[in-house]
Amino acid sequence: MSPSKPPCILVVDDDLDMLAFLAKMLTRKGGYEVAVARCAEEALDKVQTEPPAAILTDIKMPGMSGLAFLQRMRTLDPAVTTVLMTGHGTIEMAVQALKDGAYDFVEKPFDNERILYALDRAVERTRLMRENARLQDQLSEQEYVCGFVGRSRRLQQTLELLHRVARSNVTVLIQGESGTGKELAAKALHRLSQRGNRPMITVNCPALPEHILESELFGYRRGAFTGADRDKTGLFVEADGSTILLDEIADIPVSVQTKLLRVLQEKEVQPLGQNRTFGVDVRVIASTNQDLEAKIRRGEFREDLFYRLKVMTVTMPSLAAIASDIPLLAQHFLDRYSCEYGRGHLEFSTEALQSLIQHNWPGNVRELQNTINRSVLLCGHSVIEPADLWDEADPLPELAATADFPDNMAAASFEQLSYQKAKNTLLHRFNAAYLSQALRSSSGNVTAAARACGMERQAFQRLLRRHNIDSRSFRDG
Amino acid sequence: MAEILVLDDVLDATVLVGKILKKKGHVVHTFTEEDEAIAFVRTHPIDLAILDLNLKKMTGIEVLAALKQIRPTTRSLILTGYPTVETAREAISLGVDEYCVKPIDRTDLEEKVAKALASQLKD
d(CA A205, CA A249): 6
| Burial zone of A58 (CB within 10 Å; 0-12 exposed, 13-18 middle, 19+ buried) | buried
What's the pLDDT at B119?
81
Output the furthest CA–CA distance in chain A (Å, rounded): 94
Is residue B65 domain-resident?
yes
Closest residue, chain B, to A107 (C-alpha): B85
Task: Give chain B's domain count.
Answer: 1
d(CA A140, CA A135): 9
Contact call for B99 and A106, based on CB within 8 A: no
What's the pLDDT at A432?
83
Q: What is the CA radius of gyration of chain B?
A: 13
Whether B95 contacts chain A with CB within 8 A: no
Distances (CA, A) of A178 to A66, A252, A383, B55: 60, 17, 30, 74
- Mutation for B interface: A82, A83, A91, A103, most B CBs within 10 A: A91
d(CA A118, CA A93): 18
Is residue B35 domain-resident?
no
d(CA A188, CA A207): 23
Is residue B68 domain-resident?
yes
pLDDT tens digits in sequence order for chain A, 477 residues long = 444 578 999 999 999 999 999 999 999 998 999 999 999 999 999 888 888 999 999 988 888 989 899 988 888 888 899 999 887 767 788 888 888 888 888 887 778 888 999 999 999 999 998 888 877 766 665 555 567 888 888 888 898 899 888 888 889 999 999 889 998 899 889 988 888 888 899 998 888 888 788 888 888 888 878 777 888 888 998 898 899 999 999 988 888 898 889 888 888 888 888 888 888 899 999 999 988 989 999 988 999 999 989 889 999 999 988 888 898 889 888 988 888 787 778 889 888 888 898 888 888 999 999 999 888 888 878 888 888 888 654 433 333 333 334 444 444 456 666 777 777 777 877 888 888 888 888 888 888 888 888 888 888 888 888 787 888 778 764
Contact call for B89 and A99, based on CB within 8 A: no
Is residue B64 domain-resident?
yes
Residue B83, min C-alpha distance to chain A (Å): 7
Number of residues written out for chain B: 123
What's the pLDDT at A249?
92
Is residue B5 domain-resident?
no
Let me know: does B112 contact B120? Beta carbons within 8 Å.
no
Whether B1 contacts chain A with CB within 8 A: no
* Nearest CA among A75, A21, A70, A7 for reference residue A43: A70
One of 3.90.79.10, 3.40.50.300, 3.60.110.10, 3.30.750.24 is the CATH number of A153-317, namely 3.40.50.300
Domain residue extents for chain A: 8-139, 153-317, 321-474
What's the pLDDT at A34?
94
Q: Where is B98: in which H helix or E strand? A: strand B98-101
Is residue B93 domain-resident?
yes
A89: which chain B residues are within 8 Å (Cβ-Cβ)? 85
Whether A110 contacts chain B with CB within 8 A: no
Let me know: does A85 contact A57? Beta carbons within 8 Å.
yes
A92: which chain B residues are within 8 Å (Cβ-Cβ)? 101
d(CA B2, CA B77): 14
Whether A405 contacts chain B with CB within 8 A: no
One of 3.60.60.10, 3.40.50.2300, 2.60.120.10, 1.10.287.4070 is the CATH number of A8-139, namely 3.40.50.2300
What's the pLDDT at A273?
83
ipTM reported for the complex, 2 dp: 0.72
Q: Between A147 and B76, name the one with better pLDDT.
A: B76
User: Which residues, other chains included, contact B115 with Cβ-Cβ below 8 Å and sequence gap of 6+?
Assistant: B97, B98
Whether B87 contacts chain A with CB within 8 A: no
Q: Is A236 left (phi over 0), alpha (psi -120 to 50) or beta?
A: alpha
Let me know: does B51 contact B77? Beta carbons within 8 Å.
yes
Instruction: Kindly report the CATH number assigned to the domain that includes residue B96.
Output: 3.40.50.2300
Is residue B58 domain-resident?
yes
Residues of chain B above pLDDT 70, percent: 98
The residue range of the domain holding B92 is: 54-101
| CATH placement of domain A321-474 | 1.10.8.60
Q: What is the CA radius of gyration of chain A?
A: 32
Interface of A with B in 89-108 (CB under 8 A): 89, 91-92, 94-95, 98-99, 104-107
Is residue B23 domain-resident?
no
Its pTM stands at 0.46
What's the pLDDT at A400?
35
* Nearest CA among B66, B41, B55 for reference residue B13: B55
B4-42 confidence digits (pLDDT tens): 999 999 999 999 999 999 999 999 999 999 999 999 999
What's the pLDDT at A1?
43
d(CA B59, CA A468): 67
Q: Do domains A8-139 and A321-474 have the same CATH topology?
A: no
- The CB density around residue A144, as the number of other CB atoms within 10 Å, is 10
Number of residues written out for chain A: 477
